[in-house]
Amino acid sequence: MTHVIEPALPDDASRLGPLLLRAWLQTYPHRGAGIDEEWIREHRGSSATAEGIARWRDFIEAALRDPDLLFCRVVRSEAEAEAGASAETVREIVGVLCGRRGEEVTLGPMYLLNHVRGRGLGDRLMAEFLDWAGGARMRLWVTEYNEGAVRFYRRHGFETTGDRELWQGRLPNVRMTREAASPAGGRDG
């Protein structure tokens, strides 16, 4: 099986909403925070509805019109599947990373499904994002108890700021930033 990273296309919107919900169901259940499948479906299930898919399509189309302002890449897995007498390539979206340029660059969402984690795809996605963002200051929110994601972002130069939020009154998030690169190529800070 191979994995390719490429810009999202408008037709991908119908798969990104369900991907987001699936990634949340894999990543965020936490008894101590009171986050279970029902809570996730209540607060993120709309991503897989017609409205959520339309929002994805709008974002993707905007990113294609203005790639300097918006970033959206998908990870596709490609595998040969036997279909009767002939082989057919089956393509599935297994990850996504989006970002937006403003006063600083905002990273998010970024998700990989569990079955493709640990293969370097997150690092490849991040490398493309960092290249797109250039030396700009970056920020993101990450769920505090998602220790693997916190470690991943630290490895890519992000640090926690101490800012916290409870998304929808329950999900404990922390702010992470990556300072702007200095003109000499080093890090400010």
Amino acid at 146: N
pLDDT in tens, 28-63: 999 999 999 999 999 999 999 999 999 999 999 999
> Does residue 4 carry a pLDDT above 90?
yes
pLDDT for the residue numbered 78: 81
pLDDT for the residue numbered 86: 55
Give all strands (DSSP E) within the chain, no chain letters.
2-7, 70-83, 86-101, 105-112, 138-143, 159-167, 171-178
- Lowest mean pLDDT segment, chosen from 83-92, 112-121, 139-148, 166-175: 83-92
Sheet holding 70-83, edge to edge: 2-7, 70-83, 86-101, 105-112, 138-143, 171-178, 159-167
Please report which confidence band the pLDDT of residue 79 belongs to, taking 50, 70 and 90 as the band edges.
confident
Specify the pTM.
Answer: 0.88
Q: In Å, how far from its chain's centre is CA 112?
A: 7
**Number of separate domains in the chain:** 1
pLDDT for the residue numbered 76: 94
- C-beta separation of 10 from 60 below 8 A: yes
The pair of three-digit structure tokens given for residue 88, joined into one six-digit string:
């057919």
| Inside any domain, residue 166 | no
Decide which of 86 and 170 is more confident. 170
Segments forming the whole domain that contains residue 50:
2-135
Mean confidence (pLDDT) of the chain: 91
Please choose, from the candidates 137, 178, 142, the residue with its C-alpha nearest in 3D space to the C-alpha of residue 157.
178
Please choose, from the candidates 171, 105, 164, the residue with its C-alpha nearest in 3D space to the C-alpha of residue 137.
105
Q: Token pair 């930033």 is at which residue?
A: 177
| Inside any domain, residue 173 | no
User: Which CATH number does the domain housing residue 89 bear?
Assistant: 3.40.630.30
